[in-house]
Amino acid sequence: MNTYIQFAAIKFRNNMAYRFEYLMGILNTVLNFLVYWCIYKALYGGADEIDGITFSMVTTNFIISLGLTNAFSKNEMFLHDKIKQGTIANELLKPVNFKFRMLFEDLGDGFFKVIFNFIPAVIIALFFTHIEPPAGILSFSLCLISAVLGYIVLWEISFIVQTWAFWLFSIWGIVTIKNVIINIFSGVLLPLWFMPEPVMNIIKFTPLDSIFFTPVQLYLGELQGYEIIFNFSKQLLWIAVLYIIGEFFWSRGIKKLVVQGG
């Protein structure tokens, strides 16, 4: 485990070498929040709530989603680049689990962005707006646990798409489409409270609402009793399903790589 922690630490230190880049990261996070805040401020037209959804709830959704987006940072082209550069074979010969290495490097990157991008951006944003406090200590704790599970769900989806690099010349377009779908239907760009019911009924059968929206709901205390158990069970189920799918594509891809190399 210490080896993988070192991968995360190295990634964290590498990011610190580019001070201008993380200053731009802070600016980018602040601007993203302020743009969305201004749009919804205009849509609310001075009203405190619409259909039971208060403006502060929407603001809180954006803050938490932006924070998780920073924490969920990942190198979507890592495997693709290793395959195209021809270094994947050497990587697989190293005495470390390649998938775990990818995971911990992404964790190091996410940890860096939370500390140096998101937290300073939130401090700045708080001068312009107000966010809801957590519904309680238990709600906040459940939110953190759900966020970890949401991260694993999102990372597994990303890993599955990355494995397609074994068959495709470039996965950049697919990654872009995947990110757009996730941003829209997971509650990052549009809070799922405002989704039409038919669309929301479809989303409930996907892992998308488990990534960002479930932690937000837990933070606000919107889920109680059975709903909490159901949503945690859903996250765990999707983690298992996505893991199996990812391992299937990975094993098939490695066999294809060996055949090509032979």
pLDDT tens readout for residues 161-179? 999 999 988 899 999 999 9
**pLDDT tier at 258 (50, 70, 90 boundaries)?**
low
Q: Give the pLDDT mean for 241-256.
A: 92
pLDDT tens readout for residues 203-234? 999 999 999 999 999 999 998 889 999 999 99
CB 188 within 8 A of CB 65: yes
Name 53's bridge partners.
50
Largest CA distance in the chain: 67
Name 54's bridge partners.
49
CA distance 240 to 124: 39
Q: Which amino acid belongs to residue 21? A: E
- Domain locations along the chain: 2-261
- The predicted structure's pLDDT at residue 261: 45
CA distance 78 to 98: 11
pLDDT tens readout for residues 97-123? 888 888 988 888 888 888 877 888 778
- The predicted structure's pLDDT at residue 173: 93
